[in-house]
Amino acid sequence: MKKSLWVAVLLLAGVLFSASGVGNAGLKNYQCRKCALLVRSENVPPAMGCRADEGGHLWQELGPVGAMNYHCMKCRVNVESRWEPNVQGCPASGNHQWNRLGKIGPVNHQCRKCGLTVRTEETPNPIGCPNGGNHQWYKSK
Ligand SMILES: [Zn+2]
Ligand SMILES: [Zn+2]
Ligand SMILES: [Zn+2]
């Protein structure tokens, strides 16, 4: 009797734990279509405080936070995303143009040409430097 009760309690605790959004479970990426600010949030962030418009941020949901780096060569944002982010609402113009740079890891890589820094396991994909041609990656601190 007692043993099965404890199992039930543990199962319930597990359900509550996973539902509370521990880790990145419930987080989504949101970017402002006006000022290009990127934030992680479970819900649509507040509109206050946009640098590009007194009327406030205009948030575009990009999708769930995850383990892959995606970079838009038009607005230069790098998004840590579960899959390819939403293409809609690039602050630069039209749709985002995403390049998959690689899986998130412990090493900082910086591009000599555009200055972008990404955390990856291996040397990131060189395709799509916003300053023209390919990124030139080196390991930074
Ligand atoms: Zn904004
Ligand atoms: Zn973009
Ligand atoms: Zn670059």
19: pLDDT strictly greater than 80 = no
pLDDT at position 37: 98
Q: Which tokens in the block code for residue 117?
A: 């820094």
Please list all protein residues whose beta carbon sits less than 5 angstroms from ligand 1, which is an ion.
Answer: 32, 34-35, 50, 57
- Residue 133 in this model has a pLDDT that exceeds 80: yes
Among all ligands shown, which has an atom nearest to the Cα of 118? 3
Cβ neighbour number for residue 121 with a 10 Å cutoff? 12
Closest ligand to the CA of 75? 2
Q: How confident is the model at residue 12 (pLDDT cuts 50, 70, 90)?
A: low
Q: Ligand 1 centroid vs 15 CA: distance in angstroms?
A: 36
CA atoms within 13 A on the CB side of 3: 0
Residue 72 CA to ligand 1 centre (angstroms)? 17
Is pLDDT larger for residue 9 or for residue 126? 126
pLDDT digits (tens, 9 = 90+) for 27-79: 999 999 999 999 999 999 999 999 999 999 999 999 999 999 999 999 999 99
Check residues 11 and 112 and name the one with the higher pLDDT. 112
DSSP string, 65-94: EEEEEEEETTT--EEEESSSPP-S--SSSS
Ligand nearest to the CA of 127: 3
pLDDT in tens, 76-121: 999 999 999 999 999 999 999 999 999 999 999 999 999 999 999 9
Beta-carbon contacts of 107 under 8 Å, excluding residues fewer than 6 positions away, are: 119, 120, 121, 139
Q: How far is the CA of 71 from the centre of ligand 2 (A)?
A: 8
Contact present, 137 and 110 (Cβ < 8 Å): yes
Which ligand lies nearest the alpha carbon of 34?
Answer: 1
Contact between 85 and 70 under an 8 Å Cβ cutoff? The reply is: yes
pTM for the full predicted model: 0.81
**C-alpha 114 to ligand 2 mean position (Å):** 15
Confidence of residue 20 (pLDDT cuts 50, 70, 90): very low
Tell me which of 20 and 51 has the higher pLDDT: 51
For residue 75, give both structure tokens: 């607005």
Say how far apart CA 59 and CA 88 lie, in whole Å. Answer: 11
The ligand placed nearest to the CA atom of residue 87 is 2
